[in-house]
């Protein structure tokens, strides 16, 4: 199959863009929808979030706090994980 060279260039550029943005894409999950003010506060604390494209998600099961996900990394500052580690400490799993 022959691909039109112009089309190929266009496709390449599109894919490269998407790849780059996915690297900088950050998902912030919180138990309620966050407003701009909340986000700004978080960005102040985490400077690397300033250039990133932020996607917000809502997950009620977090109870409180928030989770920042980028790439395969995760910063977990939610109440749920705190409670979970407390539970584990009580049962002596850790």
Verify binding: residue 22, other proteins, rule CB under 8 A: no
Verify binding: residue 77, other proteins, rule CB under 8 A: yes
Could you tell me if 62 and 29 are in contact, meaning their C-beta atoms sit under 8 angstroms apart? Answer: yes
Q: What are phi and psi of 17, to 5 degrees?
A: -60, -45
Choices 5-13, 17-25, 28-36, 76-84 (CB under 8 A): range interacting with other proteins: 76-84
Q: What are phi and psi of 33, to 5 degrees?
A: -70, 130
Give least dist CB 5 to other proteins, A.
28
Nearer to other proteins, 10 or 71 (CB): 71
Report the site for other proteins in 35-74 (rule: CB under 8 A): 69, 71-74
Give which of 75, 81, 85 is closest to 45, Cα–Cα: 75
């Amino acid at each position: 199959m022959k691909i039109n060279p112009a089309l190929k260039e266009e496709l390449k550029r599109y894919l490269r863009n998407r790849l780059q943005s996915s690297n900088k894409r950050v998902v912030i999950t919180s138990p309620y929808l966050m407003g701009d003010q909340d986000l700004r506060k978080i960005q102040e604390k985490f400077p690397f979030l300033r250039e990133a494209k932020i996607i917000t998600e809502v997950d009620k099961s977090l109870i409180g706090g928030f989770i920042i996900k980028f790439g395969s990394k995760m910063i977990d500052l939610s109440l749920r994980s705190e409670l979970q580690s407390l539970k584990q400490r009580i049962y002596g799993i850790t």
